[in-house]
Structure 1
Amino acid sequence: MFLPLWLLLILLVPGAIAHAQTIYTIDSGDELRITVFEENDLTGDFPVGSDGTITLPLAGKIELRDLTLQAAQNRITNTLAQGFLRHPVVSLEVIHFRPFYILGEVNDPGQYDYVSGMNILNAVALGGGFTYRADQDDIVILRGREDNRIKLPAAPNSIVLPGDIIRVTERYF
């Protein structure tokens, strides 16, 4: 009793795509704390620039846009190991996430600071709650940058990520 391969793919791939869309990646507006063990001159807080890079002493610009924290840590470690340090030990943490935005039928739309573990209901609460015209069953998350933004339907418990744009639509009756 085996399922055909194409049916198995149809059943499994959407779940994998939905999971991948909730993984945090670094982008401009984030601020990172980089600690290089026993290298005080390389340790500090670094903003991610509009081009998705940080500028690290000795190493210069390092592209981190769209990398997970682990991948960014590996990239920094590998860059420092290429002629700068013998065996660099690097740790990386986000000290300030880029904001998220909530628009549409909320009482106070705008830009808000992101908090880890946030969902749509938390975001709406920050935005002053739903207006009386809000269609609470028609909420959309726009995720990504302008060049690769995707549109996702959202429920009250949907995860919000830094940089997301949440749109609460108006109901018509």
Structure 2
Amino acid sequence: MRIATRFHILAALPLLAVPTALSAQTQTAQAQTAQAPAGAAAAAAVAATPARPATPAPAGYLLGPDDQLKISIFGQPDLSTETRIKADGTVLLALVGPVDAKGKTTSQLASDIAASYAGGGYLTKPSVSVEVSDYVSRSVTVLGNVPQAGNYPLDRNYTVASMLAKAGGATTAGANAVILTPADGSGAVRISLTDMSAGAGRPLQAGDILFVPPAEKVYVYGQVQQPGAFSYVAGQTFRQALALAGGPTLAGSTRSIKVKRGGQEVQAKLDDPVKPEDVLIIREKLF
């Protein structure tokens, strides 16, 4: 009986090992299963990372070096890409290599890309779209006291006045002038917005910068009804500035006015022209 019992015990040992091995395999599989959602979640998080926004370019915008493009090929995510136009005016694409982009509209470039993939036998009637995510080669920058400062593409012929209007015009805090810094390095120019013949109709070039400075002021103090700061207008006289302050009080004298300009007192009469940041002081009458 002892021999038989020992035999049965030895025979049962392999059977006991099977559940143990299966249990270990089950635990390993469960661990791998538990890791899978984490990896999938990470991949989903990467896929959900927002890309740089791209917008359809204005119809007349011609592409140039350093413009950032988003090229999408329907049904071909591996061939779709976001790339910048190289200095030689080309974009480098998978399989087909460089494609000329400089001087073309986005729709023209999309057609050329589709033709390259179809002509090379890679795709049949591919659907391609091209959007610009960063205008660099042909744009004008508008800064300062405007409602919508930023970079604006030169999709047509713009003048100083028309580009400023596109940015919303000068705000109430802005001056009636704009400072143009040309891209050719010829030096900044101050242009009056009230006199079109003085340069507001000047055409803009790619890379130009427009800046609307704060409105210039003239200050009226002393024996006046409403002392304070008032917007400067070219051609304005001290008499007109005094009127903005409500005129002199009963104790105020306009026979001899006091004007401070650039930290110094200067001689002036009521009908003399005001300069930006002038300070007019109305003295008290001497009885």
Q: Which amino acid aligns with 1:134?
A: I
The residue number in structure 1 matching 2:203 is: 141
Partner residue, 2:130: 92
Distance 1:68 1:57 in 2: 21
Alpha-carbon spacing, 1:53–1:125, altered in 2? closer, same or farther (3 Å): farther
* Alignment pair present for 1:26 and 2:88: no
Identity of aligned residues (%): 26
What amino acid is the match of 2:164? I
Q: Tell me the distance in 1 between the aligned counterparts of 2:86 and 2:170.
A: 30
Are 1:119 and 2:173 an aligned pair?
A: no
> AA paired with 1:55?
L
* Equivalent residue number for residue 225 of structure 2: none
- 8 Å CA contact retained: 1:37, 1:90: yes
Deviation at 1:93, TM superposition (A): 1.1
Other structure's SS at 1:74 match: helix
Residues 1-150 of structure 1 aligned to structure 2 (within 5 Å): 23-83=60-120, 84-98=122-136, 99-101=139-141, 113-114=151-152, 119-122=163-166, 130=177, 133-136=190-193, 137=196, 138-139=199-200, 140-143=202-205
- The two structures have a TM-score, normalised by structure 2, of 0.36
Q: Deviations over 1:111-149 (max 9, x none)?
A: x533699833345759x7635952332132344xxxxxx
Corresponding residue SS for 2:110: helix
Quick one: which amino acid aligns to residue 89 of structure 1? Answer: S
The 8 Å contact of residues 69 and 131 in structure 2, kept in 1 or not, is answered as: yes
Residues 164 and 121 of structure 1: CA distance in aligned 2, closer, same or farther (over 3 Å): farther
CA distance in 2, matches of 1:95, 1:125: 27
User: The residue matched to 2:71 in structure 1 has which SS?
Assistant: strand
Q: Which moved more, 1:87-96 or 1:133-142?
A: 133-142
**1:64 alignment partner AA:** A
CA contact 1:35–1:91 (8 Å) conserved in 2: yes
| Structure 2 Cα separation of the partners of residues 125 and 113 of structure 1 | 16
Q: TM-score, normalised by structure 1?
A: 0.56
Q: Secondary structure at the match of 1:25?
A: coil
**Separation in 2 of the partners of 1:41 and 1:131?**
47
Q: Which sections of structure 2, spanning at least 5 residues, go unmatched? A: 1-58, 156-161, 180-189, 212-234, 236-287
Partner Cα distance (2:153, 2:105) in 1 = 17
Q: Which amino acid is 2:132 matched to? A: V
Kept in 1: contact 2:62–2:102 (CA 8 A): yes
| Higher strand residue share | 1
Structure of greater Rg:
2
| Contact preservation (8 Å) 1:101, 1:166 | yes
Question: Are the counterparts in 2 of residues 141 and 166 from structure 1 also a CA contact under 8 Å?
Answer: no
Contact 1:141 1:165 in 2 (8 A): no
Unaligned runs of 5+ in 1: 1-21, 144-162
The answer to which structure has the higher helix fraction is: 2
